[in-house]
Amino acid sequence: MHTLQDSLTPSPTMPLSTGETSRERRPAPLIFLILLWLSLLIAVVFLLTLIVNIVLEGGSRFGAQLFTEYPASSPDRAGARPAILGSIWVIGVTAVLTIPVGVAAAVHLEEFADKHHWFNRAIELNVQNLAAVPSIVYGLLALAFLSLLGVRDKNIVIGGALALSLLILPVIIIATREAIRAVPSEIRDGSLALGATKWQTTWRQVLPASVPGIATGSIIALSRALGEAAPLLLLGALVFVSFDPNGLLSGFTTLPIQIFNWTGRPQEGFHELAAAASIILLGLLLLMNGLAIFIRNRYQKRW
Amino acid sequence: MSYRSLKIAGLTATIAAAALVLTACGGQPAASEGSADGAGLSGSVTADGSSTVAPLTEAAADFFRDVEPGVNVTVATSGTGGGFAKFCADETDISDASRPIKDEEAALCEEAGVKFTEIVIANDGLSVVVNPANDFAQCLTVEQLNTIWAPEAEGTITNWNQVDPSFPDLPFALFGAGTDSGTFDYFTDEINGEEGAIRTDYSPSEDDNIIVQGISGDEGAMGFVGLSYVEENPDALKAIEVDGGSGCVAPSSETVRDGSYSPLGRPLFIYVNNASYAEKPQVTAFVDFFVESSVEVAEAALVIGLTDEQKVTAQDELATLG
Amino acid sequence: MLADTTASKPEALTTASTGGPTTPSGHPPRSLFAGRARPGEAVIKLVLRLAAAVAIVTTIGILIALLVPAIGFFREVPVFEFLFGDRWAPRFADASFGVLPLVTATAWTTAIALLVAVPLGLGAAILLSEYARPGLRKVLKPILEILAGVPTVVYGFFALQFIQATVLREWLQLDTGAFSVLAAGLVMGIMIIPTVASISEDAMSAVPMSLRQGSAALGANRMQTSLRVVFPAALSGIMAAVVLGISRAVGETMIVAIAAGNQARIVTGPLEQGQTMTGFIANAALGDSRVGSLEYDTLYAVGLLLFAITLLVNFISIRLVRRFRQAY
């Protein structure tokens, strides 16, 4: 018997997943389905073209030299070592700065805040707004702040980390809130009933339960920071750097900035190097996103 | 999987990451301190300024690293004007410049107590470039260039056939250095008679590579860049001959050195902060190296090297520093 | 017994004095020993509150950072000239500060990006939420996430070297130069597809199954159900997705700085080059701007305009969502 469920789930006995019987085959729903698939296909084809383009152009330069050598005036001697290390440094410091603050803010908003108080509603509104602010405005903010402090050379690790931390802070707050919200109230109530204080409940029950969600959100946010170049440009990042970063006040460059630098140069060899460095960057991003998805799938508790 | 073990895993991962970072930067000091060759110098040298001179300074930094691997040389390209602003605020050790320092800038330096030494480090033929497909513009006089680039031309001179009726009907696409650039100052001074006087409806950029990209992409394109960018990009740019009053001269190493490529042949400078030179041994070493090997470095960077006379002058200047 | 204590000891039961926090379940915390809460907890709560205040501090910081130089700018340049002037030549001797050219370039790239992102993003969203089997979703969602994760620098040079040079000029033989708003807009659109798609898809998934079943019961096929039942029901979320796409397009920097061009001019067609607001800030960053100089202030004036536009767009989005939200 032909049921409603049959209409909605595709099955081998149904001629069209459009929910029609063979008697009423009309072109419109089929065309619609084709258009939908087309839209997805265009996006996928674009992505594949991009990746193939990069791999083809950069494949020849992808080798040990890319990882161990410093930028040079000739592409045959150049490598992305300072950029790779700089990216690790900046993302590391960003993580240390932004994850504790973001998680703490989210805990406050979810667990301890009175949702009707003006202060907390203002914070919520601000978080939403800040998430939509263009990344270059964060660069302007960092530039102004460092100028205020009288810092001469603003192209330092802590400067870049500051700009990126503020950039991804709203994302981490939002993701952490989602993770905390997903923990059912029964857990909290049970803990309170056993005599724990609110903070003990949060610290020992709610937060551990939200760790997978927080980890996923943080990793995705950090991967976004990894790919950012605009805020760093304002701090004067487009510099020929031929040394490893060695401290919070050290000069630095990152992979996106190095790629920007190299693709702007005329020699074809530098374009190939930029493509090779893009492969590294994409690889890192895939790794981070993969890790986030893995954590989400493996550890996410379904309550 | 308990959350406790997840927390422990997370903690270990963080510690591992921190250890990785520390060893990564720990790898550098082993190379920088007490290395076998060179005096084992360390520290930093900051250079900023002209994007015409930057390839030269970068090449020098590159070669210098073979001699003194522990010294961190950074080369930025804020433009000649931008470089001087930083230099006179005592933020950089060396200022790359494709024109001499202006009086206002020298006054700024003096106010800030920054004493400097000017050294001619190379030569350049400021080239007028067109798209390689352009086969009608072989030689332009300074007057014609002025017609195209003068402030009055803004919005009015928009087509090649307005310059010379024999040229085809092809609209301009103009590219050139931005206002922070020494190339900009030099070009406007020589062609338009006044530094900074130029039409504003062109694509300005402090990054010469963007100019190269722009010109290579449009048949009617025209612009001005340093000669090294022309030699570096023969497929993207074509330099035309300039008639400065005594015939059409193409820019080349020879014509610049012997002065026949005028008025657009020019010297390239580095300005050295005297205090940095005296107090920072790594700056001393780098500047000495730069001047001594300026001709080889220039060759590597496709910039026109010094003539023998100029080399002697530069060494004399250096001697006044030391 | 718990109810008794709730009634008789309201003070002891609230752990903060700001009117009483509520847990997500909406009940006041019911700890019997709250009166003996450890003193360290007050400090912890203060720390948490300070962390949350960082959000407000950041916004205030942005406002101050943008306003102070901008006010300096507007002392030199009248607001009317800035907003409505059509010549942008801030760093030249014969300077002009009319921001319209930058705004037209931003408008063009944003419009082109939306023309790409909205149909394709909605198409992908409808496909994922209405038609796709769970196995397909597991494959397609990560692909969209990768699309969102590609660094914008990489996108920018792809736009310049492949889309502009190869596709537009070589294959399609279009009359365009080295840069164009079309190349930048197209690539930006693709970059925004995941944003539009994922938020729209969330909105559509939230529409209850009963609506779809009711529609099918009335004889509608899946296309009719998607377009006439699910889509309108999820409209608020879809609008939020589109508006978020707009704000991402307006704020994007690297793609336009690399591929749209450097000349600040009124853009009148997709094949032309132009400089967007973000492109101007990025390009100016390549030079040098002394703190307190007019060049520095100009940077922040444009930044303020950018920030204001983004806030406005965000505000409209919140309003739209509220207006069209259908609660189920």
pLDDT (tens digit per residue) in C67-106? 999 999 999 999 999 999 989 988 888 788 999 999 999 9
pTM assigned to the model: 0.84
Given a cut of 50, whether residue A213 has pLDDT beyond it is: yes
Please tell me the distance from the alpha carbon of residue A247 to that of residue A243, in angstroms, as a whole number: 12
| Residues C303, A140: C-beta atoms closer than 8 Å | yes
| Residues B25, A240: C-beta atoms closer than 8 Å | no
For chain C, what percent of residues have pLDDT higher than 90?
41
Round the average pLDDT of chain B to a whole number and report it: 85
Q: What is the pLDDT of residue C155?
A: 94
Could you tell me which residue, B80 or C5, shows the higher pLDDT? B80
Q: Which of B1, B2, B3, B88 should be substituted to probe chain A, the one whose Cβ sees the most A Cβ atoms within 10 Å?
A: B3
Tens of pLDDT, residue by residue over B97-155, are: 999 999 999 999 999 999 999 999 999 889 999 999 998 989 999 999 999 999 999 98
Mean pLDDT for A44-72 is: 88
Please tell me the distance from the alpha carbon of residue C189 to that of residue C181, in angstroms, as a whole number: 12
Q: What is the pLDDT of residue B272?
A: 94
Return the closest-CA partner of residue C86 out of C62, C103, C64: C103
- DSSP conformation letters of C231-249: HHHTHHHHHHHHHHHHHHH
Given a cut of 50, whether residue A37 has pLDDT beyond it is: yes
> Using a CB-CB distance cutoff of 8 angstroms, which residues of chain C are in contact with residue B216?
178
Given a cut of 60, whether residue B19 has pLDDT beyond it is: no
| Residues B91, A244: C-beta atoms closer than 8 Å | no
In chain B, CATH 3.40.190.10 sits at 3-123+267-319, 125-265
- Touching C (3+ Cβ pairs <8 A), the chains are A, B
Mean pLDDT for C220-234 is: 88
Please tell me the distance from the alpha carbon of residue A95 to that of residue A101, in angstroms, as a whole number: 10
Q: What is the pLDDT of residue C22?
A: 56
Mean pLDDT for C146-158 is: 89
Please tell me the distance in Å from B304's CA to the nearest CA on chain C.
Answer: 25
Query: 3-state SS of chain A?
Result: CCCHHHHHCCCCCCCCCCCCCHHHCCHHHHHHHHHHHHHHHHHHHHHHHHHHHHHHHHHHHCCHHHHHCCCCCCHHHCCCHHHHHHHHHHHHHHHHHHHHHHHHHHHHHHHHCCCCCHHHHHHHHHHHHHHHCCHHHHHHHHHHHHHHCCCCCCCEHHHHHHHHHHHHHHHHHHHHHHHHHHCCHHHHHHHHHCCCCHHHHHHHHHHHHHHHHHHHHHHHHHHHHHCCCHHHHHCCCCEEECCCCCCCCCECCCHHHHHHHHHCCCCHHHHHHHHHHHHHHHHHHHHHHHHHHHHHHHHCCCC
Could you tell me which residue, C320 or A31, shows the higher pLDDT? A31
Contact B18, B64 (CB under 8 A): no
**Nearest-Cα residue of chain C relative to residue A44:** C143
Quick one: pLDDT band at residue B37, thresholds 50, 70, 90? Answer: very low
Mean pLDDT for B176-189 is: 89
Mean pLDDT for C6-33 is: 48
| Residues B58, A240: C-beta atoms closer than 8 Å | yes
- Write down the domain spans for chain A: 81-299
Round the average pLDDT of chain C to a whole number and report it: 84
- For the record, the structure tokens of A97 come out as 């700065």
Given a cut of 60, whether residue C309 has pLDDT beyond it is: yes
Q: What is the pLDDT of residue C23?
A: 55
* HSE of A116, CA atoms in CB hemisphere, 13 A: 7
| Residues C55, A137: C-beta atoms closer than 8 Å | no
| Residues A242, B61: C-beta atoms closer than 8 Å | yes
Q: What is the pLDDT of residue A49?
A: 93
- Nearest CB to A192; choose among C31, C131, C213: C31
| Residues C58, A132: C-beta atoms closer than 8 Å | no
Given a cut of 90, whether residue B31 has pLDDT beyond it is: no
**Nearest-Cα residue of chain A relative to residue B301:** A73
For chain B, what percent of residues have pLDDT higher than 90?
42
Please tell me what DSSP assigns to residue B101: P
| Residues A263, C157: C-beta atoms closer than 8 Å | yes
B300 shares contact with chain A (CB less than 8 Å): yes
Question: Does the interface predicted TM-score (ipTM) exceed 0.85?
Answer: no
Quick one: pLDDT band at residue A302, thresholds 50, 70, 90? Answer: low
Most distant pair of Cα atoms in chain A: their distance: 79
Tens of pLDDT, residue by residue over C25-35, are: 665 555 554 54
Given a cut of 80, whether residue C19 has pLDDT beyond it is: no
| Residues C131, A33: C-beta atoms closer than 8 Å | yes
Please tell me the distance from the alpha carbon of residue C109 to that of residue C256, in angstroms, as a whole number: 8
Tens of pLDDT, residue by residue over B257-270, are: 888 888 898 999 99
CATH superfamily of B125-265: Periplasmic binding protein-like II (3.40.190.10)
Q: Which of A67, A68, A73, A218 should be substituted to probe chain B, the one whose Cβ sees the most B Cβ atoms within 10 Å?
A: A73
B3 shares contact with chain A (CB less than 8 Å): yes
Tens of pLDDT, residue by residue over B277-319, are: 999 999 999 999 999 999 999 988 888 889 888 989 988 888 8
Q: What is the pLDDT of residue B2?
A: 52
Q: Which of C288, C293, C295 should be substituted to probe chain B, the one whose Cβ sees the most B Cβ atoms within 10 Å?
A: C288
- Nearest CB to A145; choose among C21, C65, C154: C65
Please tell me the distance from the alpha carbon of residue A107 to that of residue C48, in angstroms, as a whole number: 7
| Residues A188, C25: C-beta atoms closer than 8 Å | yes
Quick one: pLDDT band at residue A160, thresholds 50, 70, 90? Answer: very high
C278 shares contact with chain A (CB less than 8 Å): yes
Quick one: pLDDT band at residue C14, thresholds 50, 70, 90? Answer: very low
Quick one: pLDDT band at residue C251, thresholds 50, 70, 90? Answer: very high
Could you tell me which residue, C281 or A122, shows the higher pLDDT? C281
Contact A273, A61 (CB under 8 A): yes
Please tell me the distance from the alpha carbon of residue A247 to that of residue C116, in angstroms, as a whole number: 44
Given a cut of 50, whether residue B30 has pLDDT beyond it is: no
Please tell me the distance from the alpha carbon of residue A134 to that of residue C246, in angstroms, as a whole number: 11
- Nearest CB to C56; choose among A123, A173, A233: A123
| Residues A267, B232: C-beta atoms closer than 8 Å | yes
For chain B, what percent of residues have pLDDT higher than 70?
88
Q: What is the pLDDT of residue B318?
A: 85
- Nearest CB to A251; choose among B74, B212, B229: B74
Please tell me the distance from the alpha carbon of residue C114 to that of residue C193, in angstroms, as a whole number: 9
Q: Which fold has domain B3-123+267-319?
A: D-Maltodextrin-Binding Protein; domain 2 (3.40.190)
Q: What are the backbone dihedrals phi and psi of residue C309, each rounded to the nearest 5 degrees, phi first?
A: -60, -45
Q: What is the pLDDT of residue B6?
A: 56
| Residues B62, A89: C-beta atoms closer than 8 Å | no
Q: Is A229 exposed, middle or buried (0-12, 13-18, 19+ CB in 10 A)?
A: buried
| Residues B206, C286: C-beta atoms closer than 8 Å | yes
Q: Which fold has domain C99-327?
A: MetI-like fold (1.10.3720)
Interface of C with A in 76-115 (CB under 8 A): none
> Using a CB-CB distance cutoff of 8 angstroms, which residues of chain C are in contact with residue A229?
151-153, 253-254
Kindly report the CATH number that applies to the domain delimited by A81-299.
1.10.3720.10
- For the record, the structure tokens of B126 come out as 């400021």
C44 shares contact with chain A (CB less than 8 Å): yes
C299 shares contact with chain A (CB less than 8 Å): yes
